[in-house]
Structure 1
């Protein structure tokens, strides 16, 4: 079944709202150098539909505008957009039926971009390579939990739930 343009826009808006609501609800864990942004699990939804690229990007933008900083709204959102596009591009690459390559994209992109963002813009100390490596590591670790753990679980649940699968693949 093909969705109309308003239906596709509504699906994007629902994904964005869910991303924002989960991030803000779990705000103490969603921001900072050591973070596990649970809503990042939704960055695997582009495995099912390109509409999710728009949804998670808008959700990240709203989340960062409401709970972080303009700098994070720019760099964090661009990182999420890049990760979502790569997730969509690699959606058919599977290992043991899991989209591991897709799940790895948000981990790598956010570790690099957000780790660098924290080091350059939010640390009181001068820039050092060890600080950059530490921030990339901690952001990447949180992304592993969100994307490789919760995100892959979400993919599996969508694939097993007929209603969710139909909603995301229509």
Structure 2
């Protein structure tokens, strides 16, 4: 029984990672740069409902960040930012507050290296990345959570 649970967890994580990678890379310029609107970031709501989403989002972000153009700093620290946001999301009391960790962490942390690389002022990047996260993780994330709750009949929070 324990082996089945571990396999199921790994499969869920892998599927979430794969979807994140495909959605990020397929939308190219929209996903990378000082104005980021990764549609895949809507999935950052999933740790509220599914523990397997935490490693899935982390791995998916790490793989997708190979195409970002920001190099090792984005692969390592961008992915760790996603991991921290996913963990914090899993601890939130409801879907409306669950969108705050990815929005705030990405806006304030990812902007550090994006501003250094692009030479765009940090505060401008906080605004543009934060706005992109608000649209994708915030609005689309809440929509995804509502659909997830309806389909799975889970009204977790």
1:85 Cα deviation from its structure 2 partner: 0.5
- Unpaired stretches in structure 2, ≥5 consecutive residues: none
Deviations 1:42-91 (A, max 9, x none): 1110011111000001000000023432211011101101100100011x
Q: In the comparison of the two structures, how many residue pairs are matched? A: 153
Give yes or no for contact 1:33–1:139 (8 Å, CA) kept in 2.
Answer: yes
The match for 1:145 is 135
Task: Name the structure 1 match of 2:105.
Answer: 109
The alignment yields a C-alpha RMSD, in angstroms, of 2.0
Contact kept, 8 Å, 2:47 with 2:86, in 1: the verdict is yes
Alignment partner, residue 128 of structure 1: none
Report if the CA contact (8 A) 1:40-1:143 is conserved. yes
1:1-170 matches, within 5 Å, as 4-68=5-69, 69-90=71-92, 93-94=93-94, 99-120=95-116, 122-124=117-119, 131-162=121-152
What TM-score results when the alignment is normalised by the length of structure 1? 0.84
After TM superposition, the score normalised by the length of structure 2 is 0.91
Query: For the Cα contact (< 8 Å) 2:25–2:64, is it kept in 1?
Result: yes
Tell me, in whole angstroms, the C-alpha distance in 2 between the residues paired with 1:59 and 1:112: 21
CA contact (8 A) 2:99 2:141 kept: yes
Deviation per residue, 1:121-151 (Å, 9 max, x gap): x1247xxxxx111011100000000011111
Segment of structure 1 superposing worse, 25-34 or 65-74 = 65-74
Q: Give the match's secondary structure for 2:37.
A: coil
Contact conserved, 2:34 with 2:118, CA < 8 A, in 1? no
